[in-house]
Amino acid sequence: MAGVLRGDGFSGREIALLALFAILFAWITSSFWLTCFGAVARLMGYPLLPLNPPIEPSAARTAILMPVYNEDVAGVFAGVQAIWESAGPDFDFYILSDSTNPASWVAEELAWQKLKTELEGADNLFYRHRPRNVGRKSGNIQDFCENWGQLYDYMIILDADSLMTGRALRKLVGLMDANPRVALIQAPPQLVGRHSLFARIQQFASSVYGPLHTAGLALLQGPDGNYWGHNAIIRVHAFMQHCALPSLPGKPPFGGEIMSHDFVEAALLRRAGWEVWMAPDIGGSFEEPPPTIPDYLLRDRRWCQGNLQHLRIVFAEGLKLPSRLHLAMGIMSYASSPLWLLLLIASASVVGAAEHGPYYYTAVVTLVVAMLLLLFGPKLLALLVMARDEDQVRAHGGLGALLWGILLESLFSALMAPIAMLQLSWYIFSILMGIAVGWPAQQRTDRALPLDYAARHYGVHTAIGLLGVILLNVFAPGSVGWFLPLLAGLILSIPLVIVTSSPMAGELARQDRLF
């Protein structure tokens, strides 16, 4: 890149461009190599969870906790029933409600009583409503620990859209019994259960690319693992002793209650000497994806604020280096969006003003090829690993459907990337301006979004994309082709949101064995 920019020396803009490029190229390179490690682990059969084998049967007492907050009551209790029927009497179930809508908590109590009546032997199914949502989800779990934690050896934390099989739950308990220095084991959830085209694409990506990503993480982090807030088993006394969270000084968005509590809790357990592991091959761990692009980005608004709070925690005293890296990578997953936006603006500025040497276009093409390899190499690796397993290929519709799925998912990802970049950049700007958000209930229901909704929320994205084309034509006419793949996602944002939100489009894709 320095060779591309070094025409007649470096200008200030070119130095800024080179710095941004170095940071972002390192960021996508780290993701590429993580997938490479995962592919090697899968192909070589490397042990990803080198712990003592599970002890069965277990004499430990384990509670399954499902915190809920103004959720779809029927969906929540259908999930509880499915897990209860799979896990049997081996666990105590707690529905921990923080719902603030009176209709919600009345419906929850009625659904709990109805489920207890329908299930034989459901004396281990408990419901608690907390009148004040102090501390959000982490406060909800803390309240359980203070009132009932001493009754249990382990607790398994779920989200309102989580599902886990009895086999997976019993295996996690057995692993904790056999490995007394382990405080937490994260079971990576596979995305399932939604029917819109957007959700099906996310579920397909989770199923095809997820195994390499989680294998790479497990291989590299070992006992210095992370916690994703749900679908994990936790040793209760270790959690109670070390994971009480402080309230950060100052006002939100950077002060107050810690929103993204899970990364911090894992870091505190590691600081105390406990091991935190990921179990990428345990199976039987599931969750639902957001059904539409707006729901996905709205969820990211909360996570963005929570992860940026970690700027005040990443240098906290006593944390281990891998824990600091987890926190830093969580911050960078959102900070990269405004950096990409700045890089694009700087690139357009430099392209319009630079004097190019004789090898400029050769170097640019080389950089583009390298970038494409880093972005799409992980997808190719995932295809190669999956192609070795005939059952997996058949489960994804056959080799032809699998190839088409990867190509179309890559096209969708390329179109969505600039939309997410612009939206997350706005989120970070608003957070830096001191605008905080709460933690509203997540929309989990499939629904087709109408044109007026998409136009109202994504008209500005379209306008920015069209403005970008006009400005490039005026100030750097020869560079429009380079930027068009990025601008296309913004220009097409409204139809992209409408089409991908459609459950009918998802059903048509399923009938064609896609995704």
- Report pTM: 0.94
pLDDT, tens digit, for every residue of 82-138? 999 999 788 999 999 999 999 999 999 999 999 999 998 789 999 999 988 888 899
The 10 Å CB-count burial string (b at 16+, else e) for 310-319 is beebbebeeb
Shortest CA distance to 330 belongs to which of 317, 314, 345, 349?
314
In contact, 267 and 227? CB cutoff 8 Å:
no
Per-residue confidence at 493, pLDDT binned at 50, 70, 90?
very high
Q: Is the pLDDT assigned to residue 306 strictly greater than 70?
A: yes
Rounded-to-integer distance, Cα 267 and Cα 203, Å = 29
| CB count in 10 Å sphere of residue 286 | 21
Cα(47)–Cα(503) distance, rounded to whole angstroms?
39
CA distances to 63, 250, 297, 298 from 437, in Å: 31, 15, 14, 11
Q: Which two tokens stand for residue 438?
A: 């709460």
Model pLDDT, residue 355 = 59
| pLDDT-derived band at 357, boundaries 50, 70, 90 | low
pLDDT at 348: 81
Q: Which of 375, 400, 399 is nearest to 386 (CA)?
A: 399
Strand locations in 248-308, DSSP E?
Answer: 275-278, 285-287
The whole-angstrom separation of Cα 85 and Cα 351 is: 62
* C-beta contacts of 3-10 below 8 A and 24+ residues apart: 3/359, 3/363, 4/360, 4/363, 4/364, 4/367, 5/350, 5/354, 6/357, 7/354, 7/355, 7/356, 7/357, 7/360, 8/355
> Each residue of 447-461: pLDDT tens digit?
999 999 999 999 999
Dump pLDDT digits (tens) for 376-431: 999 999 999 999 999 999 999 999 999 999 999 999 999 999 999 999 999 999 99
pLDDT tops 60 at residue 354: no
Q: Given this model, what pLDDT does residue 147 score?
A: 97
Average pLDDT over the chain, rounded to an integer: 93
Instruction: Give alpha helix (H) positions in 52-196.
Output: 73-87, 102-118, 136-148, 166-178
**pLDDT number for residue 415:** 96
**Looking at residue 478, what is its pLDDT?**
77
Q: Quick: pLDDT tens for 49-94.
A: 999 999 989 999 999 999 999 999 999 999 999 999 999 788 999 9
Which pLDDT band holds residue 7 (cuts at 50, 70, 90)? low
Separation between Cα atoms, residue 481 and residue 368, nearest integer Å: 13
pLDDT for 286 beyond 90: yes
Query: What percent of the chain clears pLDDT 70, i.e. is strictly above it?
Result: 97
Q: Tell me, what's the pLDDT at 51? A: 97
Mean pLDDT over 363-375 rounds to 86
Per-residue pLDDT tens for 466-481? 999 999 888 888 788 8
More confident residue, 357 or 276: 276
Residue 269 to residue 83: CA distance in whole angstroms: 28
Strand ordering across the sheet containing 62-68: 125-129, 92-97, 62-68, 154-157, 232-235, 182-186, 275-278
pLDDT of residue 6: 73
- pLDDT at position 264: 98
Question: What is the C-alpha separation between 17 and 309, in angstroms, rounded?
Answer: 27
pLDDT in tens, 10-54: 888 889 999 999 999 999 999 999 999 999 999 999 999 999 999
Question: Within a 10 A sphere around the Cβ of 458, how many other Cβ atoms?
Answer: 24
